[in-house]
Amino acid sequence: SAESFNAKIKAFRAQFRGVKNVEFFLFRLTRIFA
C-alpha cells in the first residue's frame, strides 16, 4: 500500500507543480490522506 501511496503523492505533486502556497498544499495533502 506504501507504493500506491507514493504514487498518489507523486501524482498530486505533479498536479500542483509550481504552486507557491506550500502551506496550503501541505494542508490539502493532510486533509486528503489523514
| Whether pLDDT at 12 is above 70 | yes
> Considering only CA atoms, which of 14, 19, 5 is closest in space to residue 32?
5
Which residue has 507543480 as its cell numbers? 17
| Per-residue model confidence (pLDDT) at position 19 | 62
Residues 13 and 5: their CA atoms lie apart, in Å, by: 12
Domain positions in the chain are: 3-33
> Considering only CA atoms, which of 5, 28, 6 is closest in space to residue 16?
28
Which residue has 505533486 as its cell numbers? 13
pTM above 0.75, yes or no: no
| Whether pLDDT at 18 is above 70 | no
Regarding predicted confidence, which is higher, 18 or 9? 9
| Per-residue model confidence (pLDDT) at position 20 | 60
Q: Are 33 and 5 in contact (CB under 8 A)?
A: yes
